Every structure is written in C-alpha cells, then in structure tokens.
Amino acid sequence: MSVINDQRRLGPLETRQRLTVHVDGQAVSAFAGESVATVLLALGRQAFRHTEKHHAPRGLFCGMGVCFDCLVTIDGVENVRACMTPVKEGMVIETGGPAHD
C-alpha cells in the first residue's frame, strides 16, 4: 500500500496520472509532472538531507537549480537536485544524506 497524501496538492487531481515512487523505502503516491521536491513537500517533509559538516537539516531553498541545497539520492545516484528532477514510475528516492556512521 502506498502512502497517499494529497492535502497539499492543488487543483483537480482526477485528470493526472498517478505514479508510485519509493521514499526511504516507503511506497508513496505521486503524479507525473511533479518534481521530487514537490513529492517530498506534499508528504509534509521539509528536510531533504543533512549537511556534511554540522549534520544540519536542509531542504528546498532556491527552487531553480542554483543553490544545491535540496540534494537527495535518486536511483542510487547521490547529490541530485530534487527541485530539478521530475518523478518517474518506480523511482527510488533516499533523503537524509549523506550517510553517517
């Protein structure tokens, strides 16, 4: 069963194509055309990762690919900008990086 959280989504949803992506191991409902950042915000998640030095939480900031703060791991590729990446069916998204011991 995938998590469906449409409360923050706007406009009619019936006409959109629903997809399933995986966020930190959990199947999550998303829509074609959405960015990874949008899917995370729709889940109510603002923190996307932690920084290398101070392990401080970060999330969306500039929203246009400039600041490199919204980095997540997508299908095993690290440091991908969530705001610039459209979701695809079956996409595996990992937040919270980088890995810490």
| Sole binder of other proteins in the list 23, 28, 48, 74 (CB under 8 A) | 48
Binding to other proteins by residue 3, rule CB under 8 A?
no
Q: Are 29 and 2 in contact (CB under 8 A)?
A: yes
- CA 94, 29, 6 angle in degrees (round to 5)? 115
How far CA 33 is from CA of 49, 83, 99, in Å, comes to: 23, 12, 29
Interaction residues for other proteins, span 55-74 (CB under 8 A):
56-69
Interaction site with other proteins (CB under 8 A):
8-12, 15-17, 31-35, 37-38, 41-42, 46-48, 51-54, 56-69, 79, 83-84, 86
